[in-house]
Structure 1
Amino acid sequence: MNIQPLALSFLAATAIGGLAWVFVYPLLSGEKKAEARRASVARPEPSGRPIDKNQRSRREQVEGSLKDLEARRLKEKKIPLSSRLTQAGLSWTPQKFMIISGVLAAVAFAIAMLFKGGLIGAVGLAFAAGFGLPRWMLSYLKKRREAKFLKALPDAVDVIVRGIKAGLPLFESIKVVAADAPEPLKSEFLAIIETQAIGMPLGEACARLFERMPVPEANFFGIVIAIQQKSGGNLSEALGNLSKVLRDRKKMAEKIQAMSMEAKASAGIIGSLPPIVMLLVYLSTPQYISLLWTHPTGQLMLVGCVIWMSIGIFVMKRMINFDF
């Protein structure tokens, strides 16, 4: 059987899908409107009122601190593997992670070849087990660690506020949090203490918290401390306001999660139907469906189905994933 027309049709469908994803999806998803709205909000408006020199100096210090933090964040946007392992709470080296990934790929390839899955299927399974699975586990561990951090951060900020109001210095209040807070908040605040102990200013040490825990709440905390260290002000009031913001963001996240559970359940059912139907057909009539991984045409169709299913799952995930 000549599979050249099928291959050409598959490549043409892939090209059309890619073009639609690049040019049509941003229009349908509202990304361009969101970018325009963010640009309009960020645009400064002229003011006719005179600005006092002290206010101008304080504003310039605040703007300078924000620009420095944003520049550092953009510069380190591409996160190396060692930092990703640290963010996931693992003490592995990148070499150990790569070795484990290679072992998983080899095991998956051997299992696929043992069960006569074909060379294409074995390569695809090895790629998924050696490249996709370890990185998915890193992402899962990172999100779980961030959730635990965000759950304990508002209480830690309240402890710091009460310590400052009681007369303790900021550094001593951070030590109290590092001694009594649960993980991973305890280890992150211990890292702040250790970084400050070797001579780094406390504001910069707190700002580096965002590098190890890349969530907006950690960035807020670092910005508040860095600005207060440079320009002064009522730190207890600023941290009290930050604690209120953190709790409001937590409530908003829980509300969004509750409102989006129906869409997530629907997406999970739709995404799991094809594999479940394939498994049931294999259990009932294995010789009927085994052509998908034993015949070259079936293997090509199976690869195309996996690609389109992956695109569909990615689109559904983007539709039900809300950023705020």
Structure 2
Amino acid sequence: MDLKVIALFTFLAVALLVPGLQQLILARKKFITDRLKELAGQGGPDGSGRMEKINQDLRHNFFKSLLAHAGRLSPRVLSMAADRRLAEADLPFKGEEFVALAAFCAAGGGVIAVALTGRPELAVMAALAAGAAPFWLVKAIARRRVMLFNGQIADTLLIMANSLRAGFSFMQAIEVVQREMPPPIGREFGRTFRELSLGTPVEEALTSLVKRVKSEDLSLVVTAVLIQRQVGGNLAEVLDKIARTIQERVRIQGEIRALTAQGRLSGTIISVLPVFLVVVMLLINPGYISVLFTHPTGRMMLGAAVLAELLGWILIKRIVRISV
């Protein structure tokens, strides 16, 4: 059984690695030639720095090529979903590249677990956890980015309102936000400003901004701006009122997070502790806990425990999640 698991993970790793190596061999010579032509005639004392830059570009080209070619084996639906997640997190990956990266992590986690423990069931658990880890990481990055974005919206609206009162147009107000505000909101408004500069309609550019940043506060702002453009009114005053509303919401949300911190930590510990204990028992005394995986009654008990864990985690999340 161990040999079969090792063979399976080895096959997956090789199947993902070969296309990237093939592309690297075919493209390496052309890439070096193009880079040398680009740098031709740029002699000087910093030549070693340029060669280091070439080496870095080669390593980056290999990594991107490997992920891109391996990612073409992934389902299209999964790649599109990964594209949306990566856009929300503002990460410089394509969906298919990210799916390939997750597959590499899964294969590597399974192989390492088999090599260290020789337990097939532990290898499967390690492969699933390692494959899901990149998706969890991207989700966490996107969530943190939205939190930072929401924390900057109120100041952004005040800047836009003051710019409009000073006689600036709406597009110029967005440019001021791009210059004055730090990332992530400054970067996103800069992208919106470039879209407007290229002739994209305001409605389309703002809708694209909402799709990139899953923020309820931003959605409220964009809705108010689009309505104002249709019916008219004092946009600076509207933005001021929304800014005050958002500031109050941020204050209340901070108080709620402080009051529910203990409950959220308890939910995390309760969810992680059983999995941690199972892994520890598999490492210390595999025979003691293997009955849960081999005996029919043990499998039923394990399934019931997993279901109870999921239900408990969902209930705790719902209890500590208070919408404002």
Regarding TM over 0.5, the answer is yes
- Residue 231 of structure 1 aligns with an amino acid whose one-letter code is V
Structure 1 residues 246-305: Cα deviation after superposition (integer angstroms, max 9, x where no partner): 11111121121122123223323433443565577678xx33x54324862398355654
Is 1:292–2:289 an aligned residue pair?
yes
CA contact (8 A) 1:105 1:127 kept: yes
Residues 276 and 201 of structure 1: is their aligned pair in 2 closer, same or farther, counting only changes over 3 Å?
Answer: closer
CA contact (8 A) 1:195 1:205 kept: yes
- Aligned twin of 1:177: 177
CA contact (8 A) 2:263 2:316 kept: no
Structure 1 residues 190-211: Cα deviation after superposition (integer angstroms, max 9, x where no partner): 1111121222222432232210
- Aligned twin of 2:195: 195
- Residue 289 of structure 2 aligns with an amino acid whose one-letter code is L
- How does 1:205-224 map onto structure 2 within 5 Å? 205-224=205-224
Deviation at 1:162, TM superposition (A): 0.7
Could you say what the CA RMSD is over the residues aligned between the two structures, in angstroms?
Answer: 2.6
Is 1:322–2:290 an aligned residue pair?
no
Question: Aligned partners of 2:128, 2:276: CA distance in 1, in Å?
Answer: 22
Structure 1 residues 14-67: Cα deviation after superposition (integer angstroms, max 9, x where no partner): xxxxxxxxxxxxxxxxxxxxxxxxxxxxxxxxxxxxxxxxxxxxxxxxxxxxxx
Deviation at 1:160, TM superposition (A): 0.6
CA contact (8 A) 1:204 1:226 kept: no
In the alignment, structure 1 segments of 5+ residues that lack a partner are 1-78
Question: Aligned partners of 1:187, 1:279: CA distance in 2, in Å?
Answer: 43
Q: Alignment partner of 2:200: what SS?
A: coil
Which protein, 1 or 2, shows the higher relative CO under an 8 Å CA cutoff with sep ≥ 6?
1
Is 1:147–2:139 an aligned residue pair?
no
Is 1:227–2:227 an aligned residue pair?
yes
- Aligned twin of 1:119: 120
- Residue 159 of structure 1 aligns with an amino acid whose one-letter code is I
- Aligned twin of 1:263: 263
Question: Aligned partners of 1:214, 1:207: CA distance in 2, in Å?
Answer: 11
CA contact (8 A) 1:203 1:225 kept: no
- Aligned twin of 1:23: none
Q: Alignment partner of 1:100: what SS?
A: helix
Using the aligned pairs only, state the percent identity: 25
Residues 120 and 277 of structure 1: is their aligned pair in 2 closer, same or farther, counting only changes over 3 Å?
Answer: closer
Misfit runs of 4+, over 4 Å:
275-283, 301-304
Question: Aligned partners of 2:202, 2:281: CA distance in 1, in Å?
Answer: 62
Deviation at 1:144, TM superposition (A): 0.8
Question: Aligned partners of 2:117, 2:276: CA distance in 1, in Å?
Answer: 21
Question: Aligned partners of 1:210, 1:117: CA distance in 2, in Å?
Answer: 48
Residues 304 and 118 of structure 1: is their aligned pair in 2 closer, same or farther, counting only changes over 3 Å?
Answer: farther
CA contact (8 A) 1:118 1:293 kept: no
Stretch moving more, 159-168 or 106-115: 106-115
- Residue 113 of structure 1 aligns with an amino acid whose one-letter code is V
- Aligned twin of 1:49: none
CA contact (8 A) 2:171 2:196 kept: no
Residues 223 and 82 of structure 1: is their aligned pair in 2 closer, same or farther, counting only changes over 3 Å?
Answer: same
- Aligned twin of 2:164: 164
- Aligned twin of 1:31: none
In the alignment, structure 2 segments of 5+ residues that lack a partner are 1-79
Normalising by structure 2, we get a TM-score of: 0.67
- Residue 155 of structure 2 aligns with an amino acid whose one-letter code is D
Question: Aligned partners of 2:88, 2:320: CA distance in 1, in Å?
Answer: 25
Deviation at 1:309, TM superposition (A): 2.5
Residues 225 and 162 of structure 1: is their aligned pair in 2 closer, same or farther, counting only changes over 3 Å?
Answer: same
Q: Alignment partner of 2:295: what SS?
A: helix
Normalising by structure 1, we get a TM-score of: 0.67
CA contact (8 A) 2:174 2:189 kept: yes
